[in-house]
Amino acid sequence: MGTIDHAVALKSQIQLAGGVVKHVVVGENKMPAWADDYFPQSDRLLEMDALQSLAGFSAVWMAEPYEQLRPVAWREIWERVPLVYSGYGVPLSDWKRGYDFPFFDHCQLIMASSAIEEKEYRDSGVGSRKVALTGDPLMFEVMKLPEILSSKNPVGTILWAPHWTKKWVDGSAGFANWEWAVGALYHFFKSHPDTQLVVRPHPFLTFQDGTYRARTKARRLFSLPNVSRSETSMHADIAKSDLLISDGVSILAYFGATGKPVVVLRNKKYPPPFDAVGEEITASMANITSRRSLGRTLSAVSSDGSPALGGTQSVREAILHNFPVQGSSPGKFLVDNS
């Protein structure tokens, strides 16, 4: 999830600033296999050891604000050690992210990715919260990648990042589009064996939950020799890919910040829940609402680049305007202020 990618970015930044990072996997949680490259066993603490040594740390970074989902032993640990929080990812949706959660009132530092997010955290609390506009940790790392703004760049690798929300937890319809998109992707990559597809599904997405036809198309897609599942971080996938196809959410901004083209899949009946910033950023991306349109767009992608998917300069400018990158990393800010 985005929280793991945040942790990867923060760990690197903290270590570059001279800090030391240890990690612990809490309860029944599991890290994805690729995370072992960034969080080796040598840096891992057993849960009991971590709880007993909390007082020895300058701060504890928590991946989520949901106290009720944590094992009892990890609740209200703000009484024993300073807490730090840096969000899930750059906010592009109208989900309020629980800015009023009591958890945030107890944080020693809340790291905001934008001026809007900073204000939301400050205005939603009880009393005075410690919020700083540090910028987004992963965005800081993405902006180190080469800037690519030419539509003439060859498209050799495409990243597909499908969302999971066929239905929300309350039973209402979600905005996922993989069931109608998978067929167009299969036909394109079957007929273009020299173009690679990397599939980076949302961790909650289960392709087996689709219709029989969609499941069949997905199996056929993954059987192609030029199609693979992601086995690395979001940052690494962004670095090696030339174009992104996704229905959201934060990855749209991370990828778009590189200047490389983005195709946004939109469900016409149940559109993605973008907020004003999300709509501003995605407006200049290639917005696709049907399998046929996706097929035509993919057909326009050739070794000559993707001139039909322009607007990369305006996308990049909008992203950096809303989510500015500071002079030093969020990780260094944390080290300097812990």
pLDDT tens digits for 289-326?
Answer: 999 999 988 988 764 556 556 678 899 999 999 999 99
* pLDDT attached to residue 149: 53
Residue bearing tokens 């945030």 = 104
User: Residue 147: inside a domain, yes or no?
Assistant: no
In this structure, are 119 and 185 located in the same domain?
Answer: no
CATH code (residue 23) = 3.40.50.2000
- Picking from 50, 42, 56, 99, the residue whose alpha carbon sits closest to that of residue 71 is 50
The Cα–Cα gap between 247 and 245 comes to 7
pTM of the model: 0.94
Per-residue burial over 50-61, b if 16 or more Cβ lie within 10 Å, else e, is bbeeeeebebbb
In this structure, are 229 and 124 located in the same domain?
Answer: no
Domain around 313: 157-322
For residue 221, the surrounding DSSP H or E stretch is helix 212-223
- Give how many domains the chain has, as a whole number: 2
pLDDT tens for each residue of 252-297: 999 999 999 999 999 888 888 899 999 999 999 999 999 999 998 8
User: Residue 150: inside a domain, yes or no?
Assistant: no
In this structure, are 51 and 180 located in the same domain?
Answer: no
> Which residues fall within 8 angstroms of residue 329, CB to CB, at 6 or more apart?
13, 16, 17, 135, 137, 140
User: Residue 188: inside a domain, yes or no?
Assistant: yes
In this structure, are 128 and 177 located in the same domain?
Answer: no
In this structure, are 201 and 75 located in the same domain?
Answer: no
User: Residue 130: inside a domain, yes or no?
Assistant: yes
- pLDDT tens for each residue of the chain, 338 residues long: 347 898 999 999 999 999 999 999 998 888 888 999 999 999 999 999 999 999 999 999 988 889 998 999 999 999 999 999 998 889 999 876 689 999 999 999 999 999 999 999 999 988 889 999 999 999 999 999 876 655 556 789 999 999 988 777 677 778 899 999 999 999 999 999 999 999 999 988 988 888 999 999 999 999 999 999 999 999 999 999 999 999 989 999 999 999 999 999 998 888 888 999 999 999 999 999 999 999 988 988 764 556 556 678 899 999 999 999 999 999 999 999 98
- Picking from 230, 244, 254, the residue whose alpha carbon sits closest to that of residue 309 is 244
SS (H, E, C) 59-110: CEECCCCCHHHCCHHHCCHHHCCCEEECCCCCCCECCCCCCCCHHHHCCCEE
User: Residue 149: inside a domain, yes or no?
Assistant: no
In this structure, are 318 and 330 located in the same domain?
Answer: no
In this structure, are 6 and 117 located in the same domain?
Answer: yes
- By the 8 A CB rule, do 202 and 32 touch? no
In this structure, are 93 and 205 located in the same domain?
Answer: no
In this structure, are 266 and 168 located in the same domain?
Answer: yes
In this structure, are 259 and 124 located in the same domain?
Answer: no
Residue bearing tokens 């849960």 = 47
> Which residues fall within 8 angstroms of residue 217, CB to CB, at 6 or more apart?
182, 183, 186
In this structure, are 115 and 260 located in the same domain?
Answer: no
